[in-house]
Amino acid sequence: MSERTYDLIIKNGTCLLPHPTEARLIQAKADIAISGGRIEMIADSISEKALKTIDAKGLHVFPGVIDSQVHFREPGLEHKEDLETGTRAAVLGGVTTVFEMPNTNPSTTTKEAFEDKLNRAKNRCHSNYAFFMGGAHDNVDKIAELELLPHCSGVKIFMGSSTGTLLVEDDDTLEKILMQGHRRVIFHSEDEMRLRERKHIATEKADPHFHHVWRDTETAVNSTRRLLRLARKTGRKIHVLHVSTGDEMDMLKDAKDIATVEVLPQHLTLFAPDCYDKLGTYAQQNPPIREKHHMDRIWQAVLDGTVDVIGSDHAPHTKEEKNKPYPSSPSGVPGVQTLVPIMLNHVNNGKLPLERFVEMVTMNTARVFGIKNKGALRQGFDADVTIVDMKKQKTITNDWIASRCGWTPFDGMQVTGWPTHTIVGGKVVMENDQVVMPSQGKPVDFMDTN
Cis peptide before 287 (omega within 30 of 0): yes
Confidence of residue 145 (pLDDT cuts 50, 70, 90): very high
Q: Residue 258 in 3-state DSSP?
A: coil
Looking at the structure, do residues 349 and 427 belong to the same domain, yes or no? no
Looking at the structure, do residues 47 and 144 belong to the same domain, yes or no? no
Looking at the structure, do residues 331 and 421 belong to the same domain, yes or no? no
Contact assessment for residue 187 and residue 167, using Cβ atoms and an 8 Å cutoff: no
* Per-residue confidence (pLDDT) for residue 448, from 0 to 100: 77
Dihedral angle at the C-alpha atoms of 105, 435, 39, 355, nearest 10 degrees?
Answer: -80
Q: What is the pLDDT of residues 1-40, one digit of tens each?
A: 457 899 999 999 999 999 999 999 999 999 999 999 999 9
Looking at the structure, do residues 174 and 281 belong to the same domain, yes or no? yes
Q: Which of 440, 446, 449, 445 is nearest to 125 (CA)?
A: 440
Torsion region of 301: left, alpha or beta (phi above 0 gives left; psi -120 to 50 gives alpha): alpha
Q: CA 81 to CA 1: how far, in whole Å?
A: 52
Domain-embedded: residue 33: yes
Rg (CA), the chain: 21
Q: What is the pLDDT of residues 293-334, one digit of tens each?
A: 999 999 999 999 999 999 999 999 999 999 999 999 999 999
Confidence of residue 161 (pLDDT cuts 50, 70, 90): confident
Here the CATH number for the domain that contains residue 83 is 3.20.20.140
Q: What is the pLDDT of residues 60-90, one digit of tens each?
A: 999 999 999 999 999 999 999 999 999 999 9
Domain-embedded: residue 54: yes
pLDDT at 449 over 70: no
pLDDT at 163 over 90: no
What does the pLDDT average to over 108-130? 98
Q: How, if at all, do strands 414-424 and 60-63 pair?
A: unpaired
Looking at the structure, do residues 363 and 382 belong to the same domain, yes or no? no
Looking at the structure, do residues 335 and 207 belong to the same domain, yes or no? yes
* Per-residue confidence (pLDDT) for residue 388, from 0 to 100: 98
Looking at the structure, do residues 169 and 55 belong to the same domain, yes or no? no
Domain-embedded: residue 427: yes
Looking at the structure, do residues 258 and 351 belong to the same domain, yes or no? yes
pLDDT at 436 over 60: yes
Domain-embedded: residue 55: yes
DSSP H helices, 122-188, are 143-146, 171-179
* Per-residue confidence (pLDDT) for residue 1, from 0 to 100: 43
* Per-residue confidence (pLDDT) for residue 101, from 0 to 100: 98
Looking at the structure, do residues 22 and 36 belong to the same domain, yes or no? yes
Here the CATH number for the domain that contains residue 53 is 2.30.40.10
Domain-embedded: residue 447: no
Domain-embedded: residue 404: no
Burial 108-132 (b: 16+ CB within 10 A, else e): bbbeebbebbbebbeebbbbbbbbb
Looking at the structure, do residues 238 and 293 belong to the same domain, yes or no? yes
Greatest extent of the chain over all pairs of C-alpha atoms, in Å: 79
**Considering its fold, how many domains does the chain have in total?**
2
Domain-embedded: residue 446: no
Looking at the structure, do residues 90 and 184 belong to the same domain, yes or no? yes
Residues 6+ apart with CB under 8 A from 272: 209, 212, 288, 289, 290, 291, 292
Catalytic residue chosen out of the listed positions 308, 313, 382, 389: 313
Q: CA 298 to CA 247: how far, in whole Å?
A: 9
Q: CA 147 to CA 145: how far, in whole Å?
A: 6
Range of the domain at 430: 5-61+378-391+415-435
Taking the model in full, what pTM does it have? 0.98
Contact assessment for residue 268 and residue 299, using Cβ atoms and an 8 Å cutoff: yes
| Average pLDDT value over all residues in the chain | 97
- Confirm whether 384 is a catalytic residue: no
Domain-embedded: residue 410: no
Determine which of 107-111, 344-348, 405-409, 445-449 has the lowest per-residue pLDDT on average.
445-449
Looking at the structure, do residues 33 and 152 belong to the same domain, yes or no? no
Q: Is residue 53 exposed (0-12), middle (13-18) or buried (19+ Cβ within 10 Å)? A: middle
Phi, psi of 9 (to 5 degrees): -125, 130
> Of 369, 404, 427, which marks where a domain is finished?
369
